[in-house]
């Protein structure tokens, strides 16, 4: 009994097999009958009870067959207590037996307080004796704090685990693991403690392209559209285009901001190609095209077949030089012209898409709003003459734009290259539709809304004639090539192709003559032509001068005369005005009488093709119309002849 009793008492008291064996051996040493017996032989027999580290009962006499156990780690007499504590014991989580478990608080292995031991669950990792509660992050997977980090990552390798040092006392009673996937791995801090850690300044990021700011990509400047800083990657693009390089804004918003910026800049810099400036240019461009179209329309009406043939009866000498427009076609080449102008642009790549940047369509070619395409127009009139070859009249309005660093899109004066592009565009269009046919003569009438570059002059060469115009204060200034020595039809045709209408040209001539006659007795038509050409640097048609003479004579205040065999005009005296008033009506009556007499004669001797018609109202009406036309022509010719020559 002295030997066995201490062993079994130790087993039942919650000691391990090894500790129970030690106590039995100590009892053997205290045997008074044989004090030299060390109990070794007896102790070997007790090894048959199993692993010396195992226990069969905890200190509270709970069997430990299916329960996790720990030994009490409380220090006693310089060594650990060693009593077995099972999972049912309140001090299991803290490795304290009932003797050393003083606070009587039930906790999980991580340190969370629970009400009952039944709220604790053993970790499912083999060999792990930790218990967890519902407050543990690994509760859903039944993993303790050592195998499931605070941020929700499973820990399978002890080398990938650190215990949070809790430097800011955020969780003094709770143990937390930090794994290699956590942001605080390097510092050994959970996310809650990492948030308290003083942060180093975050690296600066460009708000436009999202790149980091460093030595290779420093700050460049401020975007003038959105007023945000931009990096070196975005700066050159913004300098050239003045477009916001930001990738976060929708395309439509950036386009609207860009157009608003251009309108603002144009208020202090009139070279900026803003939408408002484009709208102003469109008014000039439309007026330019309207005036030329009116001149062409007047030329067609004046040169209609019947009127020309009747006119030739009185002007046989110039018959073969007259241009008779039978048909006229208009072809719009606006898009072709714009494409040729775009080729001059050296646009950078977008820093976000890395593709060549294209200006917003609302500014470039919007069909419903003022756009650059509408300011750059090219319309080709194909005039088919009654005899002779076809003539092409190209009407171009030019407003070239260039993207300049630090300014964006700015207006440029038209140079010779742009004028060559117009001619080349017309020739390419003709060759596409008329392959194999010789290119006809081309008359180019070009309006430079932004002005002409120095050195660009109108030309008259083989198959080409250029007429240059600019707009100043709502009026057009036209420069034509020298026409001295050119055939009569050329000298007549060129002024008709200018953007100044017949009425505007003759009104200008009339004002000059009126001012001149205020201090002079007369002025010849040649002098009027020479003086006006010297003042305007444009060709002045003699036909316009003489036509102005006729219009001024019709007012009864002026008289046409001959001075040294040259046509001239002078102011009429009061007596001449009275005499001329009477003469005009007598001549008008005489011309009407002669016309009526001639019409009666025609009526009496009707042409054969009319007499062959049945005696019907159609033949009578046709004869009456023919007689009226002849009466009108004879009356006008006689009236004009007498009025213009009767007072020379």
Q: What percent of the chain has pLDDT over 70?
A: 73
Q: Can you give the C-alpha Rg of the chain in angstroms?
A: 55
pLDDT in tens, 466-493: 888 888 766 788 888 877 666 666 666 6
Exposure b/e, 34-44, CB count within 10 A at least 16 = b: eeeeebeebbe
Backbone angles phi, psi at 106, to 5 degrees: -90, 125
Question: For residue 234, how far is the Cα from the chain centroid?
Answer: 16
Contact 231, 219 (CB under 8 A): yes
Residues 6+ apart with CB under 8 A from 631: 592, 595, 596, 598, 599
Please tell me which of 85-99, 228-242, 368-382 the model is most confident about, judged by mean pLDDT: 228-242
**Which pLDDT does position 32 carry in this prediction?**
57
Segment holding 395, helix H or strand E: strand 391-398
pLDDT in tens, 583-603: 667 666 776 677 677 666 655
Contact 272, 450 (CB under 8 A): no
**Which pLDDT does position 642 carry in this prediction?**
53
Q: What are the sequence ranges of the domains in the chain?
A: 4-147, 219-266, 275-468, 578-645
Q: What percent of the chain has pLDDT over 90?
A: 6
**Considering the entire predicted model, what is its pTM?**
0.52
Distance CA 230, CA 246 (A): 9
Distance CA 324, CA 322 (A): 6
The residue among 482 and 519 whose pLDDT is bigger is 519
Instruction: Please say if the pLDDT value at position 131 is more than 60.
Output: yes
**Which pLDDT does position 176 carry in this prediction?**
92
Contact 592, 634 (CB under 8 A): no
Distance CA 69, CA 232 (A): 66
Distance CA 245, CA 383 (A): 49
Q: What is the DSSP letter of 148?
A: B
Contact 483, 494 (CB under 8 A): yes
pLDDT in tens, 158-186: 888 999 999 988 998 899 999 988 888 88
Contact 360, 242 (CB under 8 A): no
Supply 365's token pair.
């070619």
Distance CA 244, CA 253 (A): 10
Nearest to 571 by CA among 586, 584, 553, 595: 553
- In angstroms, the first-to-last Cα distance of the chain is 173
Distance CA 365, CA 614 (A): 63
Distance CA 37, CA 214 (A): 82
């Amino acid at each position: 009994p002295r030997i066995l009793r201490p062993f079994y008492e130790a087993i039942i008291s919650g000691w391990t097999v090894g500790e129970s064996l030690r106590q039995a051996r100590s009892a053997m040493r205290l045997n008074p009958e044989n004090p030299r017996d060390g109990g070794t032989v007896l102790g070997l027999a007790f090894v048959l009870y199993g692993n010396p580290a195992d226990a069969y009962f905890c200190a509270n006499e709970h069997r430990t067959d299916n329960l996790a156990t720990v030994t009490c780690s409380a220090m006693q007499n310089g060594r650990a207590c060693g009593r077995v504590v099972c999972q049912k014991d309140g001090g299991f989580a803290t490795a304290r037996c009932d003797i050393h478990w003083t606070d009587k608080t039930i906790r999980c292995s991580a340190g969370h307080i629970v009400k009952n031991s039944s709220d604790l669950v053993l970790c499912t990792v083999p060999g792990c004796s930790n218990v967890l509660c519902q407050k543990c992050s690994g509760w859903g997977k039944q993993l303790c704090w050592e195998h499931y980090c605070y941020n929700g990552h499973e820990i399978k390798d002890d080398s990938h685990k650190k215990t949070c040092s809790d430097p800011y006392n955020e969780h003094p009673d709770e143990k937390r693991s930090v794994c290699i996937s956590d942001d605080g791995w390097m510092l050994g801090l959970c996310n809650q403690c990492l948030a308290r850690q003083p942060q180093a300044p975050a690296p600066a990021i460009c708000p436009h392209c999202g790149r980091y700011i460093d030595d290779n990509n420093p700050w460049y400047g401020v975007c003038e559209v959105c007023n945000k800083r931009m990096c070196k990657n975005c700066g050159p693009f913004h300098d050239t285009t003045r477009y916001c390089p930001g990738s976060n804004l929708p395309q439509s918003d950036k386009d609207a901001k860009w157009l608003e910026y251009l309108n603002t800049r144009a208020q202090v810099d009139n070279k900026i190609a803003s939408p408002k400036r484009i709208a102003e240019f469109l008014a000039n461009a439309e007026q330019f095209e309207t005036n030329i179209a009116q001149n062409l329309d007047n030329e067609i009406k004046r040169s209609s077949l019947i009127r020309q043939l009747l006119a030739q009866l009185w002007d046989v000498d110039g018959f073969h030089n007259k241009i008779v427009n039978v048909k006229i076609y208009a072809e719009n080449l606006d898009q072709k012209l714009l494409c040729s102008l775009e080729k001059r642009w050296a646009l950078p790549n977008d820093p976000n898409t890395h593709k060549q940047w294209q200006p917003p369509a609302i500014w470039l070619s919007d069909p419903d709003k003022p756009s650059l395409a509408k300011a750059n127009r090219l319309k080709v009139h194909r005039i088919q003459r009654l005899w002779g070859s076809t003539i092409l009249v190209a009407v171009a309005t030019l407003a070239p734009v260039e993207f300049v660093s630090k300014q964006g899109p700015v207006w440029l004066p038209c140079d010779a290259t742009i004028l060559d592009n117009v001619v080349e565009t017309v020739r390419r269009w003709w060759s596409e539709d008329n392959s194999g046919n010789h290119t006809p003569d081309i008359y180019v009438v070009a309006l430079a809304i932004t002005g002409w570059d120095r050195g660009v002059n109108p030309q008259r060469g083989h198959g080409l004639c250029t007429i240059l115009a600019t707009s100043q204060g709502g009026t057009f200034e036209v420069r034509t090539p020298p026409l001295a020595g050119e055939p009569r039809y050329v000298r007549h045709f060129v002024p008709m192709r200018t953007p100044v209408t017949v009425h505007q040209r003759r009104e200008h001539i009339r004002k000059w003559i009126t001012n001149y006659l205020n201090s002079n007795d007369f002025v010849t038509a040649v002098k009027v032509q020479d003086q006006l050409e010297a003042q305007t640097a444009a060709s002045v048609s003699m036909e316009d001068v003489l036509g102005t003479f006729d219009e001024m004579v019709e007012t009864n205040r002026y008289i046409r005369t001959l001075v040294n065999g040259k046509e001239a005009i002078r102011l009429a005296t009061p007596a001449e005005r009275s005499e001329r008033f009477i003469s005009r009506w007598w001549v008008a009556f005489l011309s009407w009488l002669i016309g009526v007499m001639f019409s009666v004669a025609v009526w009496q001797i009707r042409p054969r093709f009319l007499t062959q018609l049945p005696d019907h109202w159609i033949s009578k009406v046709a004869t009456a119309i023919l007689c009226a036309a002849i009466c009108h022509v004879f009356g006008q010719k006689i009236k004009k002849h007498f009025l213009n020559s009767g007072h020379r």
